[in-house]
């Protein structure tokens, strides 16, 4: 049996309506696909951005705020770790790297972050151009930062400004200058759009002790505990896993908190996961409603064709042929709509990821995975199963009733 | 067509469209015999049971009682799949409104019954469909059937009915939707199918021209047969004259 001639003719006759049904299925599927793809991309992208931040020590407060400020470089108010504690953590012998992070300035909207050279190397895995900073007035640009190697500039006070901000608005410039001496490799994180400078520079331009005794012009560790300032966060790369847990315990004190950003992210993901689950259910419900609405529409169209089916029966078509004609029409819409929806959903997720990357610097890898394939397969299976209902109704209809129908 | 067409016998046929003791019979024929190769016109006013008669002898409905025998075989005793197959290969149905699929080409419409059995539209069956369209002078250019004239559409429907070379043609008002000239062509073709091809042709019609060309006429009224007239070789004479 080959019902495709009849299916083709019927779809061609109602091509506008069937195209609308297909578009509805496609949009419903695309919403579901986009939600799951985007959520997975957010999870992977944000986790990847936090990869190099093994352990963070900060002043007591919100871990989420510290993660947002230190890892994702989002503007926000984070209390400073006391200078004495800062000195202690930066001198930690069980840390391969103990890097202070200091914020407060920007250049052309790109955050200027003060830290130590070892952390720059750790973060980007080497530079793509130039060298690490070796003096307080030198800077290393992120892969996408809006400054060139050799460029000298005055930092502006503040954590950056929005692109749509009034260009005439006054931005207070520091008198100190910085010269870009190197560029990091791309990291796919907000740090790509930052300019990294010695922590001593940040402390000095804000009128704070620069961590070294007077006359000492070297930058980076060791720092002098008697001339320390506070920082919003310190990133520690412990020597071992055991050391990581030990340091976390050690720096959970009344004046400091220590945490693994990965754990903070897991807690965030739990919230995100609940939202995703809710949205997925909503998307699923939408898909179900769309399929049912499509079926109602198709059944109305099939009512117009019942004489045609009766004629086919009179010409000798078996009942199964009629069932297949109806079922195949709906199957074509469901399969084509779901596949189109998969493409649309993937496209939407890629587009949204691109926008988020532009806004935050976090590269979100939006890819179709098993979850999305399962979703689309489920949509198709649901359509194919539900399509048996009108198929069976047409299968059961009496030839005479349909032949004499007006 | 090679085999002799089957003869039709109807015995004590009663068809009701509703159940219950007070249901009125839509068709009630005690006895009717239609020999092989007949050219039979069925006439009567609207609601007289003509279509019911056609559907009953075509195995499309199940009567309350009675038997429809084609060459002695009780059609209604067969299981539905067997009746479907019988209709495909033994009966060619032609309808007043053609019931073609306008989005398909004439050739695809003629080949439609082949799709019931999964025939590929190639080889012998396609050659036969092309030959039928040529015989009925239907333009075969690749275009929608909807652009054909009504007369051409009915000729496509006739070609579709003949795809499997059935020995019986059942036509329901085959000329009612046509103008006089197109109707005359269809009447000629139906007459040829009996007189030249040897098929049994049974047509319901109000068309005086058609009835005059058929060799036998039965009239129905209120579901009962009120007249059965043989006209000798009128149909053949008319065909020769035309």
Quote the minimal CA–CA distance from B233 to chain A in Å.
30
B128-151 average pLDDT score: 84
- pLDDT, tens digit (0-9, with 9 covering 90-100), for A319-369: 999 999 999 998 998 899 999 999 999 999 999 988 888 887 788 888 888
- Residue A316 to residue B103, Cβ atoms within 8 A: no
Ranges A150-164, A191-205, A299-313, most confident: A191-205
Task: Select from B55, B84, B86 the Cβ nearest to the Cβ of A400.
Answer: B55
B159-179 average pLDDT score: 89
Residue B58 pLDDT more than 70?
A: yes
Chain centroid to Cα A190, Å, comes to: 12
3-state helix, strand, coil in chain A (%, to 5): 55, 15, 30
Output the pLDDT for position A406. 58
Output the pLDDT for position A285. 84
Query: Got the DSSP string for B140-202?
Result: -SSS-GGGS-HHHHHHHHHHHHTTT--SEEEEESTTTTS-HHHHHHHHHHHHHHHHTT--EEE
- Residue A313 to residue B60, Cβ atoms within 8 A: yes
Quick one: angle between helices A388-396 and A370-386, nearest 10? 20
Residue with the two structure tokens 């004499």: A404
* Closest alpha carbon within chain A to B104: A9
Quote the minimal CA–CA distance from B121 to chain A in Å.
11
B74-91 average pLDDT score: 88
The angle at the Cα of A6, spanning A2 to A8, to the nearest 5 degrees, equals 100
Beta strands in A294-399 (DSSP E): none
How would you label A327-343 residue by residue, b for 16+ Cβ within 10 Å and e otherwise?
Answer: bbbbbbbbbbbbbbbbe
- Residue A257, number of CB atoms within 10 A of its CB: 19
Residues of B in contact with A403 (CB under 8 A): 51, 55, 60
pLDDT-derived band at A251, boundaries 50, 70, 90:
very high
Residues of A in contact with B51 (CB under 8 A): 403-404
- Residue A307 to residue B99, Cβ atoms within 8 A: yes
* SS3 assignment, position A297: helix
Quote the minimal CA–CA distance from B240 to chain A in Å.
31
* Closest alpha carbon within chain B to A306: B99
A304-321 average pLDDT score: 89
Residue with the two structure tokens 């499509």: A294
Q: Which two tokens stand for residue A241?
A: 């896993």
pLDDT-derived band at B43, boundaries 50, 70, 90:
very high
Which residues 345-404 of chain A have a CB within 8 Å of chain B? 399-400, 403-404
pLDDT-derived band at A244, boundaries 50, 70, 90:
very high
CA distances to A101, A112, A191, A249, B210 from B185, rounded to whole Å, are: 96, 92, 85, 101, 10
Nearest partner of A283 among A1, A18, A33, judged by Cα: A33
Do residues B211 and B191 make contact, with C-beta atoms less than 8 angstroms apart?
Answer: no
- Residue B81, number of CB atoms within 10 A of its CB: 11
Output the pLDDT for position B141. 67
Output the pLDDT for position A375. 85
Q: What is the rounded distance in angstroms from the CA atom of residue A156 to the CA atom of residue B110?
A: 82
- pLDDT, tens digit (0-9, with 9 covering 90-100), for B191-228: 988 888 889 999 999 889 899 889 999 999 999 999 99
Instruction: Name the burial class of residue B22, with classes exposed (0-12), middle (13-18) and buried (19+) by CB atoms within 10 angstroms of its CB.
Output: exposed
A vs B: CB pairs below 8 A: 79
More confident residue, A140 or A383: A140
Output the pLDDT for position B242. 36
Question: Length of chain B in residues, anyone?
Answer: 242
- Residue A314 to residue B93, Cβ atoms within 8 A: yes
Q: What is the rounded distance in angstroms from the CA atom of residue A178 to the CA atom of residue A69?
A: 23
pLDDT-derived band at B178, boundaries 50, 70, 90:
confident
Residue A166 pLDDT more than 80?
A: no
How would you label B9-20 residue by residue, b for 16+ Cβ within 10 Å and e otherwise?
Answer: bbeebbbbeeee
Q: Which two tokens stand for residue A20?
A: 């609308």
pLDDT-derived band at B120, boundaries 50, 70, 90:
low
Q: What is the rounded distance in angstroms from the CA atom of residue B26 to the CA atom of residue B18?
A: 9
Query: Got the DSSP string for A91-140?
Result: T-TTEEEEEEEEEEEEETTEEEEEE-HHHHHHHHTSEEEE----STTEEE
Q: Which two tokens stand for residue A257?
A: 């908190």
Task: Select from A308, A317, A400 the Cβ nearest to the Cβ of B116.
Answer: A317
Residues of B in contact with A399 (CB under 8 A): 55, 60-61
Nearest partner of A43 among A290, A216, A270, judged by Cα: A270
- Please enumerate residues of B whose Cβ is less than 8 A from a Cβ of A: 17, 51, 55, 58, 60-61, 80-81, 84-89, 91, 93, 95, 99, 101-104, 108, 111-113, 115-118, 160-161
* Closest alpha carbon within chain A to B111: A5
Q: What is the rounded distance in angstroms from the CA atom of residue A337 to the CA atom of residue A328?
A: 14
A365-380 average pLDDT score: 87
How much is the pTM?
A: 0.74
pLDDT-derived band at B237, boundaries 50, 70, 90:
very low
Task: Select from A9, A307, A314 the Cβ nearest to the Cβ of B103.
Answer: A9
- Residue A241, number of CB atoms within 10 A of its CB: 9
pLDDT-above-90 percentage for chain B: 35
More confident residue, B193 or B3: B193
CA distances to A37, A54, A266, B43, B236 from A272, rounded to whole Å, are: 13, 22, 9, 77, 86
- Helix (H) or strand (E) holding A258, with range, is strand A257-259
Name, in order, each residue with C-beta under 8 angstroms of B157's C-beta and a sequence gap of 6 or more: B94, B95, B98, B99, B100, B109
Residues of A in contact with B89 (CB under 8 A): 316
- Residue B160 to residue A315, Cβ atoms within 8 A: yes
Q: Which two tokens stand for residue A353?
A: 């990821």
Kindly list the structural domains of chain B, giving each domain's residue range(s) and its CATH number in brackets, ordered by start: 37-54+80-241 (3.40.50.300)
Chain centroid to Cα A165, Å, comes to: 25
Q: Which two tokens stand for residue B61?
A: 């409905």
Residue A268 pLDDT more than 90?
A: no
- Residue A314 to residue B118, Cβ atoms within 8 A: no
Task: Select from B60, B81, B85 the Cβ nearest to the Cβ of A399.
Answer: B60
* Closest alpha carbon within chain B to A321: B116
B144-158 average pLDDT score: 88
Cis peptide, bond prior to residue A35, ω within 30 of zero: no
pLDDT-above-90 percentage for chain A: 49
Q: What is the ipTM of this complex?
A: 0.86
Q: What is the rounded distance in angstroms from the CA atom of residue A119 to the CA atom of residue A122?
A: 5
- Residue A307 to residue B102, Cβ atoms within 8 A: no
pLDDT-above-70 percentage for chain A: 96
- pLDDT, tens digit (0-9, with 9 covering 90-100), for A102-140: 988 889 889 999 999 999 999 988 899 999 999 999 999
Task: Select from A2, A307, A403 the Cβ nearest to the Cβ of B115.
Answer: A2
A211-232 average pLDDT score: 90
- Residue B113 to residue A315, Cβ atoms within 8 A: yes
Beta strands in A108-252 (DSSP E): 110-115, 127-130, 138-141, 152-153, 156-157, 178-184, 195-198, 233-238
Mean pLDDT of chain A: 88
- pLDDT, tens digit (0-9, with 9 covering 90-100), for B101-118: 888 899 999 999 999 886
Nearest partner of A294 among A284, A304, A305, A286, judged by Cα: A286
Name, in order, each residue with C-beta under 8 angstroms of B62's C-beta and a sequence gap of 6 or more: B76
* A9 touching chain B per CB within 8 A: yes
Output the pLDDT for position A339. 93
């Amino acid at each position: 049996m080959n019902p495709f001639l009849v299916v083709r003719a019927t779809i061609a006759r109602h091509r506008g309506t069937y195209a609308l049904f297909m578009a509805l299925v496609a949009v419903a599927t695309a919403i579901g696909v986009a939600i799951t793809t985007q959520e997975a991309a957010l999870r992977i992208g944000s986790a990847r951005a936090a990869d190099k931040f093994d352990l963070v020590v900060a002043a007591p407060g919100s871990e989420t705020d510290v993660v947002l400020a230190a890892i994702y470089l989002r503007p926000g108010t984070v209390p400073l770790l006391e200078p004495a504690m800062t000195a202690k953590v930066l001198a930690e012998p069980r840390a391969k790297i103990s890097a202070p992070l200091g914020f407060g300035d920007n250049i052309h909207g790109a955050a200027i972050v003060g830290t130590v050279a070892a952390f720059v190397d750790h973060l980007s895995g080497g530079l793509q151009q130039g060298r690490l900073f070796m003096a307080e007035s030198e800077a290393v640009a992120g892969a996408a930062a809006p400054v060139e190697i050799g460029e000298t500039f005055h930092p502006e006070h503040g954590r950056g400004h929005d692109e749509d901000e009034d260009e005439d608005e006054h931005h207070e410039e520091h008198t100190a200058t910085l010269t870009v001496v190197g560029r990091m490799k791309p990291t796919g994180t907000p740090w790509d759009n930052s300019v990294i400078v010695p922590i001593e520079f940040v402390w000095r331009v804000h009128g704070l002790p620069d961590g070294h005794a007077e006359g000492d012009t070297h930058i980076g560790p060791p720092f002098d505990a008697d001339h320390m300032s506070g920082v919003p966060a310190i990133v520690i790369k412990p020597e071992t896993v055991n050391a990581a847990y030990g340091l976390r315990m050690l720096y959970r004190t009344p004046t400091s908190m220590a945490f693994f950003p990965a754990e903070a992210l897991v807690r965030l993901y739990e919230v995100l996961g609940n939202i995703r689950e809710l949205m997925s259910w909503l998307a699923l419900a939408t898909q179900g409603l769309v399929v049912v609405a499509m079926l109602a529409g198709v059944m109305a169209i099939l009512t117009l064709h019942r004489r045609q089916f009766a004629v086919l029966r009179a010409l000798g078509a078996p009942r199964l042929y009629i069932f297949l004609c109806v079922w195949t029409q709906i199957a074509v819409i469901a399969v084509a709509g779901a596949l189109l929806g998969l493409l649309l959903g993937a496209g939407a997720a890629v587009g949204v990821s691109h926008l988020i990357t532009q806004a935050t610097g976090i590269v979100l890898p939006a890819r179709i995975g098993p979850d999305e394939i399962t979703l689309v397969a489920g949509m198709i299976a649901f359509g194919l199963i539900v399509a048996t209902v009108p198929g069976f109704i047409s299968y059961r209809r009496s030839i005479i009733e349909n032949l004499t129908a007006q | 067509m090679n085999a002799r067409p089957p003869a039709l016998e109807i015995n004590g046929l009663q068809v009701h469209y509703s159940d219950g003791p007070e249901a009125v019979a839509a068709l009630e024929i005690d006895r009717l015999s239609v020999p092989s190769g007949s050219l039979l016109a069925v006439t009567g006013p609207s609601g007289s049971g003509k279509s019911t008669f056609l559907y009953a002898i075509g195995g499309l409905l199940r009567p309350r009682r009675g038997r429809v025998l084609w060459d002695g075989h009780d059609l209604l005793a067969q299981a539905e799949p067997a009746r479907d197959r019988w209709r495909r290969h033994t009966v060619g149905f032609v309808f007043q409104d053609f019931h073609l699929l306008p989005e398909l080409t004439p050739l695809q419409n003629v080949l439609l019954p082949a799709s019931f059995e999964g025939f590929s539209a190639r080889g012998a069956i396609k050659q036969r469909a092309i030959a039928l369209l040529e015989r009925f002078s239907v333009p075969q250019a690749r275009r929608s059937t909807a652009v054909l004239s009504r007369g051409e559409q009915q000729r496509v429907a006739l070609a579709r009915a003949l795809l499997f070379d059935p020995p019986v043609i059942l036509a329901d008002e085959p000329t009612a939707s046509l103008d006089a000239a197109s109707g005359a062509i269809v009447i000629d073709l139906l007459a040829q199918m009996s007189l030249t091809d040897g098929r049994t042709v049974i047509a319901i019609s109000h068309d005086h021209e058609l009835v005059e060309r058929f060799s036998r006429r039965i009239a129905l009224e209120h579901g009962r047969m009120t007249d059965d007239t043989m006209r000798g070789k009128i149909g053949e004479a008319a065909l020769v004259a035309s």
